[in-house]
A = this chain, B = another copy of it.
Amino acid sequence: MAEVRLMKGNEVIAEAAIRCGCDGYFGYPITPQSEVMETLMIRKPWEETGMVVLQAESEVASINMVYGGASCGKKVMTSSSSPGVSLMQEGITYLAGAEIPALVVNVVRGGPGLGTIQPAQSDYYQTCKGGGHGDYRLIVLAPASVQEMNDFVDLSFELAFKYRNPAMILSDGVIGQMMEKVTLSPYKARWTDEEIEEISGSWATTGKKANRSKNVSTSLELDSDKQEEFNLHLGRKYKAMEENEVRYEKISCDDAEYMFVAYGSSARICQKAIEICRERGIKAGLLRPITLYPFPTKQIKEMVPQLKGVLSVELSMGQMVDDVRLAVNGAIPVEHYGHVGGIIHSPEEIADALETLIIKA
């Protein structure tokens, strides 16, 4: 029977990891997500499922531990918050370059620099455009509730392994710190060595068996022709993701003349803003990207004919709005509205912004 609990988003990440058969977690404390590792340490999954949990010496070490563990075909993850994730950029691009499936959770706080420990969504660029160097993409899931913090752990691993690509859960301090009702997932067994051999035997470094040639986890290619072919291969993979893995939610969109685009905690606030708008006689709706990469470009585009304008609402100075604009491609006005620095917009402010930035502009 499904278990219902009252839990913090961060705690749920830990619980979901254990239950989905995650093999290893490597992390380093940072507010507002330290509860992920703390919960794991209290839960002692090594006694229950055999999952390894290790506090690393730094975020640089933890992402590289993830690279090492995940290169063995294991389900391995880390979590951190913005400054820690910045430190992981080299490791993340290595994961992408070696095509290693793994999960990174970013519970975003405000920046730049040390900034504030309060919630923000100002790491969209870093996450979706490539914080590291080179041409690569992460699979990015943006939970808007504690329940989704639960659900997306398993989903992230599934997508990561499907595409041999690192995945990121892009959360924020609100979703990480809040408690909500959550229905926990049933336990899944960790993969056995045989299952790993079956699923990832062509690439995972599990020790060279006599029946196969050696596996090497690497992102190095000194031959430019081969490197280009590899980059093009990645490009095709990303294309496939764009075609098959876009996830989003539409709220009150059927008759909408104006549409908010917002993810995560901002999307929740927009839901309330819609009510306010509709009380004011404005037909507003919300398209909530659940996957930030692949981005619901097509879905936004499809809405355009019925719309008079779009407002991208983010806890940032305007980052996702680029992708919204690229989707709309000049057909109707697109504007950005958002608070930053740990301040959370109120539903009223959002409704007002729609009026001033779009309707009356």
Tell yes or no: A275 within 8 A of B by CB. no
Contact call A322/B317, Cβ cutoff below 8 A:
no
Mark interface residues in A231-255 (1 if CB within 8 Å of B CB, else 0). Answer: 1101100000000000000000000
Contact call A126/B135, Cβ cutoff below 8 A:
no
Central interface residue in A90, A229, A342, by most chain B CB within 10 Å: A90
Contact call B114/A220, Cβ cutoff below 8 A:
yes
Contact call A225/B98, Cβ cutoff below 8 A:
no
Interface residues of A in 84-102 (CB under 8 A from B): 85-87, 89-90, 93-98
Contact call A97/B113, Cβ cutoff below 8 A:
yes
Counted per complex, copies of this chain come to: 2
Minimum Cβ distance to chain B for residue A70 (Å): 13
Contact call B228/A86, Cβ cutoff below 8 A:
no
Residue of B nearest to A132 (CB): B86
Tell yes or no: A325 within 8 A of B by CB. yes
Interface residues on A, range: 35 or more
List the B side residues contacting A98 at CB < 8 Å: 113
Q: Which of B93, B328, B339, B341 contacts A112 (CB 8 A)?
A: B93
Contact call B86/A90, Cβ cutoff below 8 A:
yes
Known A-B contacts A94-B112, A112-B136; the reply to A118 vs B231 at CB < 8 A is no
Known A-B contacts A93-B111, A112-B94; the reply to A224 vs B118 at CB < 8 A is yes
Q: Which of B131, B227, B339 contacts A116 (CB 8 A)?
A: B227
List the B side residues contacting A123 at CB < 8 Å: 133-134
List the B side residues contacting A114 at CB < 8 Å: 94, 97, 218-220
Q: Which of B112, B231, B325, B339 contacts A133 (CB 8 A)?
A: B112
Residue of B nearest to A228 (CB): B341
A318 to B222, CA, bound (A): 22
Known A-B contacts A111-B136, A115-B221, A133-B82; the reply to A231 vs B341 at CB < 8 A is yes
Tell yes or no: A122 within 8 A of B by CB. yes
Tell yes or no: A6 within 8 A of B by CB. no
Tell yes or no: A230 within 8 A of B by CB. yes
Mark interface residues in A322-361 (1 if CB within 8 Å of B CB, else 0). Answer: 1001101111000000011111000000000000000000
A133 to B108, CA, bound (A): 9
Contact call A130/B125, Cβ cutoff below 8 A:
yes
A48 to B224, CA, bound (A): 41
List the B side residues contacting A220 at CB < 8 Å: 113-116
Contact call B96/A113, Cβ cutoff below 8 A:
yes
Tell yes or no: A129 within 8 A of B by CB. yes
Q: Which of B86, B134, B232, B325 contacts A111 (CB 8 A)?
A: B134
Tell yes or no: A205 within 8 A of B by CB. no
Known A-B contacts A224-B342, A227-B342, A228-B339; the reply to A134 vs B118 at CB < 8 A is no
Tell yes or no: A266 within 8 A of B by CB. no
Known A-B contacts A225-B343, A230-B341; the reply to A317 vs B235 at CB < 8 A is yes
List the B side residues contacting A129 at CB < 8 Å: 125-126, 129-130, 319
Minimum Cβ distance to chain B for residue A166 (Å): 10
Could you name 10 residue pairs across A and B whose Cβ atoms are closer than 8 Å? A82-B133, A86-B131, A113-B220, A115-B221, A120-B134, A125-B129, A130-B319, A135-B340, A234-B317, A329-B329
